[in-house]
A and B are shown apart, each in its own frame.
Chain A
Amino acid sequence: MGQAFCVLAGCSAGTVSAVIEFYGVTKVYPNQVTALRDIDFQVGRGEFVFVVGPSGAGKSTLVKLIYREELPTRGRLLVAGRDVTALRPGQVPYLRRSIGVVFQDFRLLPNKTVFENVAFAMRVVEASPREIARRVPQVLEMVGLADRARAYPDELSGGEQQRVGLARAIANSPSVLLADEPTGNLDPHTGLEILRLLLDVNRMGTTVIMATHARHLVNVARRRVVELDAGRLVRDELRGGYGHEA
């Protein structure tokens, strides 16, 4: 496994540690829908990976398994070396503190300002007020919203809202950032801005996994591409495009 991973990732054995490891993972939902079949792949620390495929291919399920919103039906899934299937419920929050998640629908709190939305994520993991006061402007600056800190979500454009979502996802400095169709609700140009920000985050050392079917973004970025089709992993390419038909 590790060998295959290193061949794909272009690393030399022993220098890279995998941060996400799928070993024969299958996910069957209670309604008997099989979302993922026997998935095997690993993501190294600091990698940027696109997960592509048509709707219903299992992209979202794959993301949910990583932050343990769902549990695998079969197989082993390690995140930062820990088997998520073996986590006690009380340990799940601590796993999630090492993972940031960005969603297609932003999921901001409408009655809180931009600043408060980001601060909320830090407050609920009991960060100190001083830490919050230092970190929130920093991440807002990073996503280019320093001047919109007092605005409410409904006063922002879609792209700006998603940047708030991204700022919130990285506020607690996670080692992995998951993005589930982060540009799905945005026009191509704005989507590209979000992709640039995700690449920035990745450049600073965060592992990024982005599920998308935005063909143009994948083709622009030229990063590792994992393709799913009907729950099967059908392609894992180091510097891939969206697909052969592209």
Chain B
Amino acid sequence: MKLRTWGYLLRETAHGIRTGRLMALASVSTVAVSLLVLGLFLALVLNLGRMMAQVESEVQIRAFLVDARQAAGGGRGGSGMWGTPGTGPSQAGQGGATRPAGTSGGQGSAAGAAGPSGAQEGAAVPAAPDVARLEEQIRNLEGVTTVRFVSKQEALERMRQSFGERAAILEAVDDINPLPDSFEVQVARPEQVAPVAEAIAAMPGVAKVDYKRDTVDKLFRLTAVLRGLGVVVAVLLVLGSTVVISNAIRLTVFARRREVAIMKLVGATDWFIRWPFVLEGLALGVGGAALAVGALAGAYWWAAGVAARTLPFLVLVEPEEVVRLTWAPLLGLGALVGSLGSGISLRRFLHV
């Protein structure tokens, strides 16, 4: 088509929208409200995703080691399997030397500190797990990024700190410290948590393995439900908007049936006749979507502000990020709804 033809078609489109002002307003606001609801769903899912990533990144496997005292009490034999007394300290020292600097120093010293005590106890009851070898084995598992040894003394110290003023009640257990030694293991990717945890659990000397599987699983399920719900809501709203737009276009077609008849009569091409209606549908859809993006930005900015004041521990996705991620899909959906709506009306009411 020629350039001036496009100018003409655009003028006709504007004329069509003006002619059906009320219906155009109804369509634009329906599209806007529908896409706003959809946008809020998207924002919710985005935030859940962010939350999940956070929980996942914090996912830590805690592997509790068999307590030497308990092991001895239980009369577990096979000391050779768990390493011989005396090798603990030396291996821990080796590990400290070969591991790169950084956390290794602390770990090395922790292991070193634990070594003697383990060795001492081991001397009496030969059942202490070989901490250094276990650490090495865990470190060699696929996906493991850091391994940190937490001695039973350190665990008790942590508990004491978390108890704060009421730490005095722990004095009762000071001597017999019932907390076991443990490893804190981090993995590179969330999906590696489960296999790594299983592998560690299977290692000799490991009594129990724990990680926040439940939290992650619950968030996963919630997100899946919300996504599904969002899709259903989106489909319904898109259908509704399509019907409303198709109605608006139908009215325009009806208002201009004389023009259309004459256009056909004198030999206007089908697309010349269709374009103003298609463009009108597109304008209504995209216009509604633009309003929805604006309203979403405003609503989310406000809600995020309120949330930041009342729930400061929640780390929400920034409003800019929400707009950046949602404007294109929403405008695209608006365009889709618009062209679909006009398409339906043109098929049914404009026999060119």
Q: Show the binding face of A for B, using Cβ within 8 Å.
A: 67, 89-90, 93-97, 100-101, 107, 109-110, 120-121, 123-126, 128-129, 168, 172
CA distance A128 to B2 in the complex (A): 10
CA distance A234 to B263 in the complex (A): 35
| A124-B270 contact, Cβ under 8 Å, with A101-B265, A107-B262 | no
Q: 20 extra interchain contacts, Cβ-Cβ under 8 A, other than A107-B261, A124-B268?
A: A67-B265, A90-B269, A93-B264, A93-B267, A93-B268, A94-B267, A96-B264, A97-B267, A107-B262, A109-B259, A120-B259, A121-B266, A123-B8, A124-B267, A124-B272, A125-B267, A126-B1, A126-B2, A168-B266, A172-B266
Contacts of A129 in B (CB 8 A): 4
| A109-B262 contact, Cβ under 8 Å, with A126-B5, A126-B272 | yes
B262 touches A120 (CB 8 A): yes
Contacts of B269 in A (CB 8 A): 90, 93
Enumerate B263-294 residues with CB–CB distance to A below 8 Å: 263-270, 272-273
CA distance A93 to B8 in the complex (A): 19
Interface centre among A93, A126, A129 (most CB of B within 10 A): A93
CA distance A71 to B34 in the complex (A): 45
Contacts of A90 in B (CB 8 A): 269-270
Asked if B166 is at the interface of the complex by the 8 Å CB criterion, the answer is no
Query: Which of B4, B5, B265 is in CB contact (< 8 Å) with A96?
Result: B265
A97 touches B266 (CB 8 A): yes
A172 touches B265 (CB 8 A): no
Contact with A along B1-38 (1 / 0, CB 8 A): 11011001000000000000000000000000000000
With both chains docked as a complex, state the minimum distance between the C-beta of A228 and any C-beta of chain B, in angstroms.
Answer: 23
Contacts of A125 in B (CB 8 A): 266-268
With both chains docked as a complex, state the minimum distance between the C-beta of B192 and any C-beta of chain A, in angstroms.
Answer: 59
Which DSSP category, helix, strand, loop or mixed, fits chain B's interface?
helix
The 9 closest A-B pairs by CB, nearest first: A97-B267, A96-B267, A124-B268, A121-B266, A93-B267, A124-B263, A93-B269, A126-B5, A125-B267
CA distance A89 to B264 in the complex (A): 12
Interface centre among B259, B262, B273 (most CB of A within 10 A): B262
With both chains docked as a complex, state the minimum distance between the C-beta of A113 and any C-beta of chain B, in angstroms.
Answer: 15
Contacts of B5 in A (CB 8 A): 126
Interface centre among B2, B259, B262, B265 (most CB of A within 10 A): B265
With both chains docked as a complex, state the minimum distance between the C-beta of B267 and any C-beta of chain A, in angstroms.
Answer: 4
Closest to A89 in B: B270
B264 touches A109 (CB 8 A): no
CA distance A123 to B269 in the complex (A): 12
Asked if B347 is at the interface of the complex by the 8 Å CB criterion, the answer is no
A172 touches B267 (CB 8 A): yes
With both chains docked as a complex, state the minimum distance between the C-beta of A124 and any C-beta of chain B, in angstroms.
Answer: 4
Contact with A along B292-332 (1 / 0, CB 8 A): 00000000000000000000000000000000000000000
| A109-B267 contact, Cβ under 8 Å, with A126-B2, A126-B5 | no
Contacts of A123 in B (CB 8 A): 8
CA distance A29 to B5 in the complex (A): 37
CA distance A100 to B269 in the complex (A): 16
Contacts of B348 in A (CB 8 A): none
CA distance A90 to B271 in the complex (A): 10
CA distance A101 to B262 in the complex (A): 10
Interface centre among A89, A93, A124 (most CB of B within 10 A): A124
Contacts of A120 in B (CB 8 A): 259, 262
B266 touches A109 (CB 8 A): no
With both chains docked as a complex, state the minimum distance between the C-beta of B90 and any C-beta of chain A, in angstroms.
Answer: 89
Closest to B5 in A: A126
Contacts of B259 in A (CB 8 A): 109, 120
Contacts of A95 in B (CB 8 A): 267
Query: Which of B4, B258, B266 is in CB contact (< 8 Å) with A124?
Result: B266
